[in-house]
Chain A
Amino acid sequence: MLRLLRRLLWLCGMLLGVSFATFAVVDLAPVDRAELAIARAAGDRAFADLDARERAILQLRAQFGMVDPVTLQPAPLGTRYLQWLGNAARLRFAGPNGDHDALWRRIAQAWPTTALLGGLALLLAFGVGVPLGARLGMAAGTAREGVASALLLAFAALPEFLVATLLLLAFGAAGLQWLPVSGLRSPDATTWPAWQQALDSARHLVLPVAVIGVGPLALVARFVRDAVARADRSPWVETMRALGAEPAVLRRRLRRHGALPAATLAGSLLPMLVGGSVVAENAFALDGLGHLAFTAASEQDQPLLLALVTLGAIATLLAFAFADWLHARLDRRAGAA
């Protein structure tokens, strides 16, 4: 119980650290939100003179909490951060006077796509990576395993956006046209029967999931391979062999031995999935969080960006905690430590 409490406290501390680091980066930026907003709105209303424009900017700065509303002097970084934090704790990320509902709507619209892609990619990574890694680990040192591992390495090494464009070119309008390359469903899918809609969505998911999942897959397989190869050379396996254990029994034990440490990878794979989803969602025209983050960066939308990083950090921290818990559950030694 105490350990759980300490862990929770620690999670909160980390969250503060991450959000402050991001806040500082965004805040140090030579981007003035007020100037930006004025520049965007300038098409709608022109200002009588420079003075009026200056006043409007000052007003906006006060509204955004960039300056003290009374003295109009720039507020110090700490004050602004605390103000932001206070709002964030109440899940109000859009700034002091922003439209919170609109921001949440954008996130709510985007997250299911990303969660679906990420979940399927994780499933692919572990579902294929663990058995593949176990097989490679048991064959470690042979020539065939060397070739297979080198191929795996090449897959892990390929940049995601290169894979994405290659798939786009291969399956897109100029290529084979076997699989759809944009969106999550066909435009007229709503009129189709349910099973056809499901099939349609599945067909749309193949390429993005492949792009996101191939890197984690190679990583998991490599990790499991090493763990199994190490176990294969350990005294207890030697002993089992000497006692005449069935190869099937040995294989099962070794696989379990390799799969256990892979559980800890689940946490560190999340940042990888984030990078992958930015690339895949942009390449295959999907409206997910990765695309939203890309939009936030290219439009320099500070509140949205801070919200996304904070939510991302919470997800990552939870994933780390979950991985630790899983590892402790699966491996008594880790739990005891």
Chain B
Amino acid sequence: MKPPRAPVRLLRAPSLWLALALVALGALAPVVANDAPLALRRDGAWSFPAFAELVGRAAVAPDGGGWRDWLALSRPDVVVWMPPVPHGPLATDAALAGVGPSKAHWLGCDELGRDLLARIVHGASALSSLAAPAVALALVVGALLGTWAGLRRGWFEACVLRLVELTACLPLLLFLMFAAAFLGDSATVARLALAALLWPSFARIARAEALALAQREFVRTARGLGVSEARLLFAHVLPQMKGPLATTAAFCVAAAVVAEATLAFLGLATGSASTSWGEMLRSGVERAALGEWRPWAAPAAALTLVVLACHRVAERFRDDPAR
């Protein structure tokens, strides 16, 4: 009999907080790095252009043009609060092309004069808008189906297992590539395609865990006491597999971010935001070959940080036999 595992406390892991912070950074990108102000007081009325962008509306300057020109004509009665990184990811400036790090541009600018830090921040939205929702969906579907299959056995388990094996035959990158090429450049399609490819990982783990847990005393006792199947599933079995599921989820988030970046790097965009680390790497490679490393190294470091953070999380909750 295997000794019971140490209890898994998800929120005690610093690596998980780092990963969550990166997801939050992606979700909040428009208010972290933007050339539109966070808050603006004009003619006695407040407006919040950057927050408008956060909820999916365009933040257009009052004269209908760009914010930079409008803000340059600063008037004494206008109060402006800028985001921490006061540059937009797409705002180009020929005068700034390829400049190095400075006080105004912490990481410098790329060959079109776009602020690198702002682009890095906005590239993190691949995490929040693509990887996190897709993995969350896959986690819910996979964990429920897998656990149910492990507890119920019979034809339901057989069906789930067959589906799992079927999906294992489809290589992640290849299938995403085809989905992007044929189903169009839509965020929803990309999320659904990712979730469809990732749920079997969760289902496989959840089933194996459920099979083992079904033999344990507390599950047998609960069954003997006549606890309903739903309660058994949600209150007794699922909480016991937090660790393995967290490990799988972390691996899947890393795989999703890498797949998105790879597709963008190869020039087959998925439904991600306008700024992608893969795309930055793609344009950065040519500059790097000419000896200008910054535009390549910045997204490479960001991507590596995200992937390593995810793997740290996975490592933390893994069932390490040496521990």
B173 contacts across to A, CB distance below 8 A:
274-275, 278-279
A184 to B: closest C-beta gap in Å: 20
Task: Compute how far the CA of A165 lies from the CA of B288 in the bound complex, rounded to whole angstroms.
Answer: 10
B55 located at the interface, meaning its Cβ lies under 8 Å from any Cβ of chain A in the complex: no
Question: Would A159 and B258 be within 8 Å (CB), given that A153-B311, A165-B281 are in contact?
Answer: yes
| CB neighbors of A among B107-134 (8 A) | none
Are the CB atoms of A140 and B322 closer together than 8 Å? Answer: yes
Question: Is the CB–CB distance between B181 and A14 below 8 Å?
Answer: no
**Which one of B166, B258, B265, B289 lies within 8 Å of A17 (CB-CB)?**
B166
Say how far B171's CB is from chain A's closest CB, in angstroms. 4
A31 CB contact (under 8 Å) in B182, B254, B311: B182
Query: Does the CB pair B178–A305 fall under 8 Å?
Result: yes
Proximity bits, B240-261, A CB within 8 Å = 1, else 0: 0000000000000010001001
* B172 part of interface (Cβ distance < 8 Å): yes
A168 to B165, CA, bound (A): 36
Q: Is the CB of B183 within 8 A of A25?
A: yes
Cβ of B311 and Cβ of A30 under 8 Å apart?
A: no
Tell whether A35 is near chain B: CB-to-CB under 8 Å: no
Q: Does B16 contact A (CB under 8 A)?
A: no
B178 touches A25 (CB 8 A): yes
A294 within 8 A of B: yes
Nearest B residue to A273 by beta-carbon distance? B171
- Check B289 against A172 for contact (C-beta < 8 Å): yes
CB atoms of A22 and B172 under 8 A apart: no
Interface residues of A in 152-198 (CB under 8 A from B): 153-154, 156-162, 165-166, 168-169, 172-174
Majority secondary structure, A binding face: helix
User: Is B267 engaged at the interface, CB distance under 8 Å to the other chain?
Assistant: yes
Q: Which of B32-40, B63-71, B143-151, B299-307 contacts A (4 or more CB under 8 A)?
A: B299-307
List chain A residues, Cβ under 8 A from B4.
none
Q: Contact: A174 with B178, CB < 8 Å?
A: no
B169 interfacial by beta-carbon distance below 8 Å: yes
Residues of A within 8 A of B217 (CB): none
Whether A313 and B170, one on each chain, are in contact in the complex, defined by CB atoms closer than 8 angstroms, is yes
Contact in complex: B166, A21 (CB < 8 Å): yes
A271 interfacial by beta-carbon distance below 8 Å: yes
Say what secondary structure dominates the interface of chain B.
Answer: helix
Q: Which residues of B contact A30 (CB under 8 A)?
A: 183-184
- Interface residues contributed by chain A, number (CB under 8 Å): 57
Count A-B contacts at CB 8 Å: 142
Distance in Å: Cβ of B209 to nearest Cβ of chain A: 16
The residues in A between 2 and 42 inclusive whose CB is less than 8 angstroms from any CB of B are 13-14, 17-18, 21-22, 25-26, 28-31
Indicate if the CB atoms of A226 and B321 lie closer than 8 Å: yes
Answer whether residue B285 sits at the interface, using C-beta atoms and an 8 A cutoff. yes
- Which residue of chain B has its CB nearest to the CB of A166? B300
Measured in the bound complex, the distance between the Cα atoms of B281 and A165 in whole Å is 9
B308 CB-CB contact with A under 8 Å: yes
Whether B307 pairs with A28 at a CB distance below 8 angstroms is: no
**Is the CB–CB distance between A169 and B288 below 8 Å?**
yes
Task: Report if A229-B169 is in contact (Cβ < 8 Å); known contacts: A29-B183, A162-B300, A282-B266.
Answer: no
B303 with A169: CB separation less than 8 A = no
User: 1/0 contact trace for A56-93 toward B, CB 8 Å?
Assistant: 00000000000000000000000000000000000000
B290 on the A face (CB < 8 A): yes
From B170, B177, B261, B285, contact of A169 by CB (8 A) = B285
Chain B residues numbered 267-317 whose CB sits less than 8 Å from any CB in chain A: 267-268, 278, 281, 285, 288-291, 296, 300, 303-304, 307-308, 310-311, 315
Least Cβ–Cβ distance between A150 and chain B, in angstroms: 8
Q: Which of A140, A153, A313 contacts B315 (CB 8 A)?
A: A153
Q: Closest chain B residue to A160 by CB distance?
A: B262
In the complex, residue of chain B having the shortest beta-carbon distance to the beta carbon of A26: B182
Whether A161 contacts B170 in the complex (CB less than 8 A), given A174-B289, A294-B266, comes out as no
Give B contacts to A, CB under 8 Å.
Answer: 162, 165-166, 168-175, 177-184, 254, 258, 261-262, 265-268, 278, 281, 285, 288-291, 296, 300, 303-304, 307-308, 310-311, 315, 320-323
Further contacts, 6 of them, CB under 8 A, given A30-B183, A174-B288, A297-B181: A25-B175, A229-B321, A275-B262, A298-B268, A312-B169, A313-B169
> What are 23 A-B pairs with beta-carbon distances under 8 A?
A18-B166, A22-B178, A159-B258, A162-B300, A162-B304, A174-B289, A233-B321, A271-B170, A272-B171, A274-B173, A274-B174, A275-B172, A278-B174, A293-B177, A294-B266, A297-B178, A297-B268, A298-B181, A298-B268, A312-B169, A312-B171, A316-B169, A317-B169
The 10 A-B pairs with the shortest beta carbon distances in the complex, nearest first, are A29-B182, A140-B322, A275-B173, A271-B171, A230-B321, A274-B171, A297-B181, A159-B258, A229-B321, A141-B322
